[in-house]
Chain A
């Protein structure tokens, strides 16, 4: 069980967000500007009760995440842009942490803002900033602990930005559909999905790693984006061209849109459904068709999306729901999306009491249902794409080390790249990657996966490992 935390700690993301806002506005307006003052006062109001209890607040940038008093702050769609901005500003200045001590006043924040924004971003910026902040009693700063450079950081940045853009866009589209808007423009959805296609074509494994994290709020939006990514990745393996990948991606993006019609009480029910609730739930594929057709212009893409929305809970053998004639063949895209949908759902924490399945167990279940629930050839190709130990699988090696599968190996599916979590003595390690294809001088593999473990059971924070950079 986690230690209880004061109420204010739960506002950690709000505190960091507020700081980002102040610094952003401060780029345009002076510290005495009304809007700036308002934002500053709001921050002071947020941190004061925390300081009363905790005595200090440390906002630290480690890797790709902010932490507040050593607790990592999860990304959310709404704050993503501001967090991203703040991260860049921190990095430009070599700034690793800000500590608020004892009591903080409006003036302190304003002074800090001035010092921060006037600090040049070249030639030892941190030293200059530190000098400027020294005059502020209640605020200390620390240097950035690890400098990250190069293309891999940019790529991860692009990756994350694209992923969250997708989630944000989906929220917008779904919100409009739910609101009954006519002619919902999915132009931006297309742009977003096209970006996913581009990323998958370039860095398939990196984008798939985003689907493995599952460490976010608003499961359903992330689920739809994950299904889109996995579907596009599988489509790419099948050799679909860009246009078809884009179509497939959008259809997958919207596959669950029918859930907007499910009452929250049913959707978020933490226990099993009764018959009536189950009946309501089973309607969402048909509701998805209605929503898509009511709100999107009739064109080839809308048609495909409607078909996938209808069929994604149908099994390969025609069972499932909604009821269809036995002779019905599933649409090709539907077969793809079904696999992606089930895999992501099985490996995600859900509102009801099930715990998520480890990825390889999910694959085993899907493989066992080949020919009945899922297309037998497609599931094979999916497994080959995602690996027999998919990204995010928590594994024990024959060296007694523990690790998380970081990147797959299309040539040798059982020899992925692992990011180590614990050494052979069980001690935590950081930023250590091993390639299971590596051999010793005797020609034998140095390491082999022996067992898989349930990361949820041991509270292993996948994002912490999967978003590390592997050079």
Chain B
């Protein structure tokens, strides 16, 4: 095959690689487009490798060469495949003949990974190294390790035209000169080989502690060693023996126990350091580190680390926490944990996880205290997952017990579900003083808010609540109306006073002129509630309704009589039996069914 054909093959292969890279980011691995892209790239690779053997791509900043022929070119800094490798220090990428499809696929996945967003600390080369490619190798520019740093006291002495080129790189050589001492790094040049046994510094040593070995004097030392060895006692070697099975087991257990996530350990260390820190700057830096750690752990859906940090900080003795420069950094840290940024991440965590430890969330909120109420309310607004909202509601119930005011203020929120949640939370807090606040939204536009108010009224058990419920009998939404009659019935069962109120309210409603125009189901529920209260005066009224046969009433009249029959059956009113028997054979199905059921109930009682 001609040379041009060979290079063209490589060019096509690189084009296919770039296309496949994009596909891998868009499609899942079982997608046909994904599979086709991998197949195409691999086919081109195999074609080349089968014909020509190993493929070595030489990497330059703006191009990729194959034996000095350009196979890829990109002058810009973005989307530059060559520059991607070049910046990693890679100067050659070598594909071996036995390249497998899975290796190529993994290689392409790695080239498409955004390592900046990855929290593992990996980069392309270390991730590739970890993958242990058998048939893809890289040649790295070794000199990249040897960056001379002027902070070490070394200078540069380079040839003309070069300023900071490194040996072996494009452009020519350069070298570093040492300063008078090699401790300019400040890391501490410790003494090196050459002191005598009294610890005296050898006069041959330079400032950097260099000592030359001298072969001629070594001969003397050797004979001394030989002589000494003849008389020295035999040494006893250290004996360790084989590891017992128990020891091996313990070690394995230790290794298995070693968690891959260590954020909680670091949090413990940082708080320990915080408790001992003295200058405020130090404490500030430590809390900043804790903040970074918590953000990191949240990205990994770990709330435990934050809890540990907060818990341990609270264990620092109060007098120490309040003084010695810790107060402000700690306060800032707690503010951070309540901040919008952190709450957003907490929200993502709550929404994304199928199961979440609610106790952990409660503890987290508990440490943050009532100051976190607004933050959690804001969080509630953002959550999409119903289970997450339920958990946060529970948190707000707990926190709200300490201070309901922020919750009450959010009753004015323009978002209906926020208002509804506030009503729910206020109801569950069980603080009777908030009834008036809740009633401010009794007339809310959204029926689900009004519904929530209705449910809430049950828990307040006051005349005011009953009054309000009565108002809901005429709500514009049937669900709300139904709910109000159910709730008032439930309240009526609990106290005599409520029972009387409810009975009068229901009878009054039933007697209203337009009541019969309501849906049958709704009307029936009123009668049903009344039946649960069971009052004799109502019995008479119901029997009158049964007896009433209206020519003009039509369907509504029949419904009323059916409701009355339903009432009498639930109330087990024997006196009504004769009237019910008369209607047993009614031609109207609805009436007949309800009458029959009522008769059965009364007969069985």
Q: Which residues of A contact B (CB under 8 A)?
A: 1-5, 9-10, 12-14, 17, 20-21, 24-25, 27-29, 33-36, 39, 70-74, 76, 78-82, 85, 161, 165-166, 168-169, 171-172, 174-176, 178-179, 187-188, 190-192, 194, 214-221, 238-240, 242-243, 246, 259-260, 262, 264, 267-268, 270, 286, 289-290, 293-294, 297-304, 306-307, 310, 322, 324, 331-332, 349-355, 360, 363-364, 367, 376-378, 380-381, 383-384, 388-389, 394, 396, 400, 402, 413-414, 421-422, 426, 428, 449-453, 456-461, 464
Contact = CB atoms under 8 A, between A and B. Distances in A.
Interface string B272-293: 1100100000100110010011
Contacts of A268: 183, 188-191
Contacts of B190: 218-220, 267-268, 350-351
Given A264-B183, A297-B121, A188 B145 contact: yes
Contact of B213 (A72, A267, A298, A451): A72
A260 B186 contact: yes
Contacts of B192: 215-219, 349
A456 B241 CA distance: 29
Contacts of B282: 290
Contact of B160 (A29, A165, A332, A459): A29
Give 6 nearest A-B pairs by CB, closest first. Answer: A301-B121, A426-B226, A353-B199, A267-B188, A299-B121, A396-B229
B167 A28 contact: no
B51 interface: no
Contacts of B239: 388
Contact of A377 (B143, B186, B250): B250
19 contacts: A1-B196, A34-B160, A36-B159, A74-B211, A76-B178, A78-B178, A187-B88, A191-B140, A218-B183, A218-B192, A238-B255, A242-B130, A246-B130, A262-B188, A267-B190, A302-B121, A303-B296, A367-B240, A421-B222
Contacts of A34: 160
Nearest to B208: A217
Nearest to B130: A243
Interface string B537-548: 000000000000
A171 B237 contact: no
A363 B285 CA distance: 40
B225 A422 contact: yes
Contacts of A78: 148, 154, 176, 178, 182
Contact of A179 (B151, B202, B251, B258): B151
B221 A460 contact: yes
Interface in B213-264: 213-219, 221-230, 232-235, 237-241, 243, 247-248, 250-251, 254-255, 258, 260-263
Given A383-B240, A421-B222, A428-B219, 7 more contacts: A165-B146, A190-B126, A246-B130, A290-B282, A402-B225, A426-B222, A458-B225
Given A17-B175, A28-B172, A35-B159, A388 B197 contact: no
Contacts of B223: 426
Nearest to B215: A70
B605 interface: no
B191 A351 contact: yes
Given A458-B225, A459-B217, A188 B160 contact: no
B589 to A, nearest CB: 72
A10 B206 contact: yes
Interface in B355-389: none
Contacts of B188: 220, 259, 262, 264, 267-268
Given A5-B204, A351-B191, A242 B132 contact: yes
B486 to A, nearest CB: 54
Nearest to A378: B251
B173 A74 contact: no
Given A172-B149, A216-B192, A377-B251, A389 B237 contact: yes
Nearest to B119: A299
B212 to A, nearest CB: 4
B325 interface: no
B185 interface: yes
A464 B240 contact: no
Contact of B159 (A29, A76, A214, A286): A29
Interface centre among B157, B194, B214, B240 (most CB of A within 10 A): B240
A13 B188 CA distance: 21
Given A217-B189, A460-B218, A453 B225 contact: yes
A297 B292 CA distance: 9
Nearest to A293: B289
Contact of B126 (A72, A194, A394): A194
Contacts of B228: 453, 458
Contact of B238 (A190, A243, A360, A461): A360
Contact of A304 (B125, B262, B285): B262
A469 B576 CA distance: 116
Given A3-B214, A270-B191, A306-B269, A178 B126 contact: no
B520 interface: no
A85 B89 contact: no
A35 B160 contact: yes
Contact of B182 (A76, A188, A260, A299): A76
A233 B145 CA distance: 22
A434 to B, nearest CB: 16
